[in-house]
Amino acid sequence: MTTSPKHAYESDERVDIEHLRTYVDVLDDVLEYARERDYKGWDYGDGMSSRVLLSIPIDNRWFNLAVQEFIKRSPINVRPLFLVEQRRNFKGISLFAMANRTRAQLANWFDGGDDARAYLDDAASLTEWLVANQAKGYSGFAGSHRHVIQHISGRNGPRSGIPHSPNVVSTSYGVKALLAGREFDPDYPDIAKTAVDVMLEDLNYRLKDDGAVMDYYLSHPKDSYTLNALAIGARLFVELYDHFGDEELLERAEKVYDFVAAKQTDCGGWYYREPRSASHLSMDNHHNGFIVECFQRYEQLVGSGRYDETTARGLDFYAQELFDGDGAPNFDEENAYPRDIHATAQGILVFTYAGQYDRAERALDWALANMYEPDEGRFYFRKHRFYTKRMTLMRWCQAWMAYAIAEYVATRLVGEPTHGYGIDSLRTRAETP
């Protein structure tokens, strides 16, 4: 095990509980919206699950891409017209599991503990669902999108049915949920650790440029690297290292972190892919936020200072270039629009973990003023310059914002970033010699 956290496990008495209660009320409404729908909904890239598309006797990469991207980019939600199935998303369920578990712990502050059981029951059942619905047939525990995604380089699963094709990001969040939910089943951490074999064997962990890389997903081009996915994979290794104390896991993590750190640009941000020409995306908001958060997590768990400069430069770029002063998220370093709710959620997380609570609240308050339907407890997808996409995607909108709000409130209460593991995890770490 690593050393105890830098801050003591104690509530910050200067925190205005009544002020935080307004955010907890939003969290409750967002979770209720998801619970009423059994945590099922549409997702960002789910166009290939259209029953209309599946009924057409054409299986062509470019045709599939055209339909998928039209459904994704349409200014209105055309998924009902295309009969796109509403499903649970693996990463979304991971986020909901952690958000419910943290909300159960918040009950001691806001509900006298009365409502904890319902949130804890949901957290337990959602975590169990992750184990039952992992991608089968691979080297260990693996998460995947539960719909097919057509990439230029290939598909992540069969054209019909539920694909079983692991990717780094879904797997990493599933690992977080299993480690956080170990109170529900003592076997969960051991199951989570088998994800290492998925990274090593199925997703081809390999040495590269004085560091290491792995494939984001099975059909990923072998001559380019998705930097945020690498950082999230490195975090998977370091969080398992923190639980098991296996030095080899830390070594593997640091090799991937080294590769990502070396690709940081002079301005402090990261392009979506290495090389830059491998993607149309530039230094977009939430993917840069992922990277900064993963370096924050390393420093919290390992505390070596190895990436302090990388983290500081990345955080400065992120705060100054990817957010406006009022908390509105910019799409990338050159474009303000579209303003995306996922970017807001990631900003809340990064700024919370950095202790920049004013920035975190500005991002949250901007979303509540511009991207939230309070009567329904749901967040909108994107705000463009002249119109807003008022569709709600269960993982992209609800899961991320529930997770972000829960993390913000919990961290404010205890003065130490919880990183999805809940308030009790800080007490455990503080008591670890």
In a domain, 221, yes or no: yes
| Region 145-159 average pLDDT | 68
Residue 433: pLDDT band with limits 50, 70, 90? very low
| Region 168-183 average pLDDT | 98
In a domain, 266, yes or no: yes
pLDDT attached to residue 387: 95
CA atoms lying within 13 Å on the CB side of residue 63: 9
Q: What is the pLDDT of residues 191-213, one digit of tens each?
A: 999 999 999 999 999 999 999 99
Q: Where are the beta strands (DSSP E) in 121-167?
A: 150-151, 154-155
In a domain, 377, yes or no: no
**0.85 exceeded by pTM:** yes
In a domain, 197, yes or no: yes
Query: Domain range holding 259?
Result: 134-290
pLDDT attached to residue 156: 62
DSSP conformation class of 47: G
The residue with greater pLDDT, 16 or 172, is: 172
pLDDT attached to residue 58: 81
Q: How far is CA 365 from CA 71, 141, 208, 317, 387, in A?
A: 29, 37, 42, 21, 20
In a domain, 68, yes or no: no
CATH number, domain at 221? 1.50.10.10
Query: In this predicted structure, which of 138-147, 296-305, 365-374 has the lowest mean pLDDT?
Result: 138-147
In a domain, 188, yes or no: yes
Q: Into how many domains does the chain fold?
A: 1
Query: Is residue 417 helix, strand or coil?
Result: coil
Q: What is the pLDDT of residues 258-288, one digit of tens each?
A: 999 999 999 999 999 999 999 999 999 999 9
Order of strands across the sheet that contains 339-340: 339-340, 382-383, 388-389
In a domain, 160, yes or no: yes
Share of the chain above pLDDT 90, in %: 79
Q: Hey, what long-range contacts does 128-136 have (CB within 8 A, 24 or more apart)? A: 128/184, 128/185, 129/88, 129/93, 130/90, 130/93, 130/94, 130/97, 130/174, 130/177, 130/178, 131/178, 131/188, 131/191, 133/88, 133/90, 133/93, 134/90, 134/174, 135/164, 135/165, 135/166, 136/164
Dig out the tokens for 21 from the structure.
Answer: 């209660």
In a domain, 419, yes or no: no
Alpha helices in 194-270 (DSSP H): 195-197, 227-244, 247-262
| Region 158-165 average pLDDT | 52
Mean pLDDT of the chain: 91
pLDDT attached to residue 426: 61
Res 124 pLDDT > 60: yes
